[in-house]
Amino acid sequence: MPWKERDTMSLRREFVVFASDEGANRRELCRRYGISPTTGYKWLRRYGEMGEIGLREQSRRPLNSPMRTPGWLEARVLEIRDEKAWGGRKIRWQLQKDGIHRPPSQSTITEILHRHGRIVLDESIRRRPLRRFEAKAPNALLQMDFKGHFQAGRRRCHPLTVLDDHSRFSLALEACSDETRATVQDCLTSVFRRYGLPDRMLMDNGSPWGSREHVSGLAVWLMRLGIRVIHARPAHPQTLGKDERFHRTLKHEVLRRQSLTSLPECQCHFDRWRSVYNFERPHESLEMEVPASRYRPSTRPFPENLPPIDYSEGLTVRRVHGNGEIWFHDRVFKISKGLRDLHVGIKPTGKDGVFKVYFCHQLVREIDLTDHPKFKS
Structural fold of domain 142-293:
Nucleotidyltransferase; domain 5 (3.30.420)
- Distance, in Å, from the CA atom of 288 to the CA atom of 83, rounded to the nearest integer, reads 19
The string of pLDDT tens digits covering residues 301-327 is: 999 999 899 998 889 999 999 899 999
Helices (H), 131-233: 181-195, 217-224
HSE, CB side, 13 Å, CA atoms: give it for residue 95. 28
pLDDT of residue 118: 72
pLDDT by residue (tens digit) across 104-116?
A: 888 788 878 877 7
Q: Are 211 and 345 in contact (CB under 8 A)?
A: no
Find the mean pLDDT for residues 231-243.
74
Please tell me the predicted confidence (pLDDT) of residue 157: 96
Q: Is the pLDDT of residue 267 over 70?
A: yes
Query: Beta 228-231 vs 200-203: how paired, if at all?
Result: parallel
pLDDT of 226 over the 80 cut: yes
Q: List, in order, residues 6 or more apart from 75 with CB less than 8 Å away.
A: none
What residues does each domain of the chain span?
5-55, 70-124, 142-293, 316-371
pLDDT at 124 over 50: no
The pTM score is: 0.76
295 confidence band (pLDDT: 50, 70, 90): very high
- The greatest distance separating any two alpha carbons of the chain, rounded to the nearest whole angstrom, comes to 91
pLDDT tens for each residue of 147-176: 999 999 999 999 999 999 999 999 999 999
Residue of 55 and 7 predicted with greater confidence? 55
Q: How far is Cα of residue 195 from the mean position of the Cα atoms in its chain?
A: 11
Q: Tell me what the mean pLDDT of segment 182-199 comes to.
A: 97
pLDDT range class, residue 54, cuts 50, 70, 90? confident
- Write down the pLDDT at residue 180: 96
Q: Which neighbouring-strand residues pair with 331? A: 328
Give the total residue count for the chain: 377
CA distance to 95, 149, 163, 353, per residue, from 140 (Å): 34, 28, 11, 34
Report the distance separating Cα 131 and Cα 149, nearest Å.
Answer: 29
Q: Tell which residue, 142, 137, 136, has the closest CA to residue 242.
A: 142
Residues near 368 by Cβ (< 8 Å), separated by ≥ 6? 353, 354, 355
Mean pLDDT of 71-93: 82
* Average pLDDT of the residues in 357-370: 92
Q: How far is CA 334 from the centre of its chain?
A: 33
User: Could you tell me the sign of the dihedral formed by the alpha carbons of 334, 145, 136, 198, in that order?
Assistant: positive
